[in-house]
Amino acid sequence: MDAQDCQAAASPEPPGPPARSCVAAWWDMVDRNLRYFPHSCSMLGRKIAALYDSFTSKSLKEHVSLPLIDMLIYFNFFKAPFLVDLKKPELKIPHTVNFYLRVEPGVMLGIWHTVPSCRGEDAKGKDCCWYEAALRDGNPIIVYLHGSAEHRAASHRLKLVKVLSDGGFHVLSVDYRGFGDSTGKPTEEGLTTDAICVYEWTKARSGITPVCLWGHSLGTGVATNAAKVLEEKGCPVDAIVLEAPFTNMWVASINYPLLKIYRNIPGFLRTLMDALRKDKIVFPNDENVKFLSSPLLILHGEDDRTVPLEYGKKLYEIARNAYRNKERVKMVIFPPGFQHNLLCKSPTLLITVRDFLSKQWS
């Protein structure tokens, strides 16, 4: 096959007209787009009008869907800090091990166990079995139930864990189902089950060492839910610490920063309450504390704007009125400067907690 035959084989289509210059082709494209521009604007206008009609034709209740409510309450999709290997806690905080606890089929919780700083040297190079056995060493244990969004490696949570570890506490930092690398989907019932499971797992391994449930913000609702169930089972929690608590989620959601901007929309609050009821999101701290007998310490910052101080005060009043032993309930208000997440920076936090628990456990 000669060169002419090769060219014919490689170009089966008949030769077309000579190629036009790039500049001429470019101007043709511009001309076509300019002629199409009014048409595309018209199409865009029709799409916007259709979306507007679709939005206004539906009731507010149809727009406030259950997935949206779940997203706003739990905010678990925001898995910050990003690029953190939750299987390697030693990169973020010393003498800490990561492990997983199976709650039920399809639900595995990621947990960090930080031992007291006084045992830091002993913990070097040790595995999960050593950490588990260390729960019997007599140092008090805190099961930490965090608030919405982020996960167990969030900076303000790590600061609190370090303070507690330096103060002689074991800390189990739990990511509920759907948070961090824990599997499953968050629901109020599910988070409560998670907390009960971790508490009972810890109690089974702690011997006579006391175990305290510590809830922050959303976690206060999880803590009192779990404590109430355990109380009904005849196994009251050794102690409960509620940091920045609300009375119930219906009240707290009205003040929630992400929802504040919608409060003036006619019918929004009623629609929100209906959605919370339908999704069974209540976290009724104000009702739960009426059934508890465990030592209860409430901590609140004076300048907390996420969960205002008035909610903590109201909850304290309800609990104190309900408890037979009034000495088992205490509230401590921290001065301005710590807001919602940073009570861990207060120099009096640790001594406040230790003094309360030591008196209750003596």
CB-based contacts of 334, cutoff 8 Å, min separation 6: 299, 300, 301, 302, 343, 346, 348, 349
> Coil, helix or strand for 144?
strand
Domain boundaries, the chain: 89-361
Say which range, 52-56, 234-238, 328-332, 344-348, has the weakest mean pLDDT.
52-56
Class of domain 89-361: alpha beta
* Predicted confidence band of residue 16 (pLDDT cuts 50, 70, 90): very low
What integer pLDDT is reported at residue 9 of this predicted model?
A: 34
Distance CA 222, CA 357 (A): 20
Calculate ∠ Cα 175-242-288, nearest 5°: 95
pLDDT single digits (tens) 307-320 = 999 999 999 999 99
Q: What is the pLDDT of residue 267?
A: 77
Q: Does 37 have pLDDT greater than 70?
A: no
Q: In this structure, are residues 265 and 60 in contact, taking their beta carbons and an 8 Å threshold? A: yes
Of residues 243 and 38, the one with the higher pLDDT is 243
Average pLDDT over residues 221-231: 98
Catalytic site positions: 217, 304, 340
pLDDT at 56 over 90: no
Predicted confidence band at 274 (pLDDT cuts at 50, 70, 90)?
A: confident
Q: How far apart are alpha carbons 254 and 274 in whole angstroms? A: 13
- What integer is the mean pLDDT of 210-226? 98
Q: Is the pLDDT of residue 30 over 50?
A: no
The pLDDT value given to residue 15: 39
pLDDT of residue 3: 37
Mean pLDDT of 125-138: 97
pLDDT band, residue 254 (cuts 50/70/90): confident
Q: What is the mean pLDDT of residues 83-111?
A: 97
Name the least confident of 17-21, 218-222, 333-337.
17-21
Cα 134 to Cα 139: distance, rounded to the nearest angstrom: 9
> Among 23-37, 189-203, 346-360, whose mean pLDDT is lowest?
23-37
Region of poorest pLDDT, from 162-166, 257-261, 308-312: 257-261
| Predicted TM-score (pTM) of this structure | 0.82
CA dihedral 297, 191, 99, 170 (to 10 degrees): 0
| pLDDT (0 to 100) of residue 31 | 56
Lowest mean pLDDT across 33-42, 208-217, 326-335: 33-42
Q: Which two tokens stand for residue 28?
A: 């043709």
